Amino acid sequence: MDGMAWHGLEQAVAARRDELVALTRDLIRIPTLNPPGLNYREICDYLAARLSARGFAVQMIRAHGAPADSAAHPRWNMIARHEGTGPGDCVHFNGHHDVVEVGHGWSVDPFGGEVRDGRVYGRGACDMKGGLAAAIIAAETFVDTCPDYRGAVEISATADEESGGYGGVAYLAEQGWFDPARVQHVIIPEPLNKDRICLGHRGVWWAEIETKGRIAHGSMPFLGDCAVRHMGAVLAEMEATLFPLLAGKHTDMPVVPEGARSSTLNINAIHGGAREEPPDYTGLPAPCVPDRCRITIDRRFLIEEDIAEVKREVTALMERVKARRPSFDYDIHELFEVQPSMTDRAAPVVRTVARAIEHVLGHVPDYVVSPGTYDQKHIDRIGRLKNCIAYGPGILDLAHQPDEWVGIDDMVDSAKVMALTLADLLAR
C-alpha cells in the first residue's frame, strides 16, 4: 500500500472512535470474572453476533476437560475468521476475555464502563478489553477499506489467561489453532503501551519446599525435631548464597521494569506447625514441636538460563544445609514451569508493527520483555509459532488495580497501528 492509502485507512479508523468506545464499554459491562469464570458464554455470544454480522465466520469452542471447566462455569472461547480474495498469510489477534477480581478502593462502578476525561473506566478496561476492542475495530476497518486483500484476518477472545490460559489459548493451541501452517502472525493486545512492542517474557518455576521434623511436646523440644528451625536454616542459606547469586545474573532481554532484568526469587508463602485459627477463636494454641514446614518459591528466570540449572541451584542449596544438620530431611514438590519466550526483532510481525508505530506516532518503538508470563508461552511452546508479540493500548501498571482505565486516544492510535499492520502484511 502507498502512503495515500495508509492515510485513508488511518482516517477510517479515526472515524470509528465513538464505535471503539462503545464496544469497549459493552465488553466491560459483561463481568467475566475469573475465578470462577463468569459470563464467558455471554461475552463470546456478544462478539460472535457482532463479527458474524460483519462477514466473519465464527466458531465457539469450549475447552472441555480443561482445568476449572465445569457445567456451571464452562470455559468458552470464540474465534472469528475473515477470508481475503486470494492466498496469503493469516494475521491473528488474540485477546483474553477474562478479568481478575474487583478488590477494594474503587470510586467508579467497576462494571459500568464510565467515560470521563478521555478515559474508559472499569475492571478489564486496560487488561484487556480496550485492547481487544481496538483489535476488532482495526480488523473491521481493514476488511471494509481493503476488501480485495490476500490471506485472512482472525480474532480470538479466549478464556482464563489470568489463571494460566489452560482453558483458553493452551487448549486452542493443543487443538491446532495456532499451527504455523494456518496462522503466520499473532498479536496479543495486552496493555504494553501504544509505542512498545513486547517480544516475550521471562521463564517461571514454582516449587514447594518442605522441611521435615518430628512432633513432640513443646515443653521438651529436645525430644522432637523442629521443622521450622530447619526452614530457618534454609532461608539463611538463601540469603547468604542464593539471592546474591541471582542478583548477579543479568539478561540481554529488554525486560521492564529494569529490576526484573536479573533473575529473581520470591517466597510466596510459608507455613509451619499448628494451623492458624480464625481470628474469632478464643482458645490458646497447643504446644507442639512442628514436624512440617513448607515454603512456596516463585523463581523467574532468564532466556540465558537453563531450567535444569535453575532447579539444580535449589537442590544444591538444600544439600548444603543437609550436610550441616544431621537430622534434617526435605522434599521438593514442583508445581509449575514455563520456559522463557522471546520473538526475534527481525521477525516479520515485529518489523511490520514497528513500521506502523513509526508511521502513526512519528517515532521508533521501544522493544520490551514482560517480567511475568502471558499467553505467548502457549503459542510458542504448544503452537510452535515464533512470530508472536504483545502490542496494545493501556498502561500495564493499571492492570488489576482499582479504578482501572484505558485512554481513548491510546486505543485509537493502537487501532491505527494494527490496521496499518494488516495492510502492510495483507493488502495487494
Using CB under 5 A as the criterion, which residues of the chain lie in contact with Zn ion when the complex forms?
A: 127-128, 190
Residues in the chain: 428
Nearer to Zn ion, 12 or 188 (CB): 188
- CB 51 → Zn ion: shortest distance, Å? 21
113 Rama sector, left if φ>0, alpha if ψ -120 to 50, beta otherwise:
left
Q: Which residue type is seen at 237? A: E
β-pairing, 329-338 vs 203-212, is: antiparallel
Nearer to Zn ion, 290 or 392 (CB): 392
- CB 191 → Zn ion: shortest distance, Å? 7
Nearer to Zn ion, 119 or 201 (CB): 201
Q: How many whole angstroms separate alpha carbon 173 and alpha carbon 371?
A: 23
Yes or no: say if 198 and 189 are a contact pair by the CB < 8 Å rule. Answer: no
Nearer to Zn ion, 191 or 383 (CB): 191
- CB 281 → Zn ion: shortest distance, Å? 39
β-pairing, 193-201 vs 388-392, is: antiparallel
Yes or no: say if 229 and 321 are a contact pair by the CB < 8 Å rule. Answer: no
Nearer to Zn ion, 100 or 234 (CB): 100
- CB 80 → Zn ion: shortest distance, Å? 20
Q: Which of 315, 390, 314, 301 has its CA nearest to residue 349?
A: 390
Residue nearest to Zn ion as judged by C-beta position: 127
User: DSSP strand E in 347-426: where?
Assistant: 366-370, 388-392, 405-407
- CB 370 → Zn ion: shortest distance, Å? 10
**Residue 423 in 3-state DSSP?**
helix
Q: Which of 422, 424, 416 has its CA nearest to residue 10?
A: 416
- CB 143 → Zn ion: shortest distance, Å? 25
Nearer to Zn ion, 82 or 129 (CB): 129
Nearer to Zn ion, 94 or 211 (CB): 94
Q: Which of 54, 15, 25 has its CA nearest to residue 129?
A: 25
- CB 257 → Zn ion: shortest distance, Å? 17
Helices (H), 222-284: 227-237, 243-247
User: 466458531: which residue's cell?
Assistant: 59
- CB 157 → Zn ion: shortest distance, Å? 12
Nearer to Zn ion, 1 or 398 (CB): 398
For residue 304 the three cell numbers come to 540465558
**Residue 68 in 3-state DSSP?**
coil
Neighbours of 12 (CB within 10 A): 18
Backbone angles phi, psi at 165, to 5 degrees: 80, 10
Burial of 120 (0-12, 13-18, 19+ CB in 10 A): buried
Nearer to Zn ion, 114 or 127 (CB): 127
- CB 401 → Zn ion: shortest distance, Å? 13
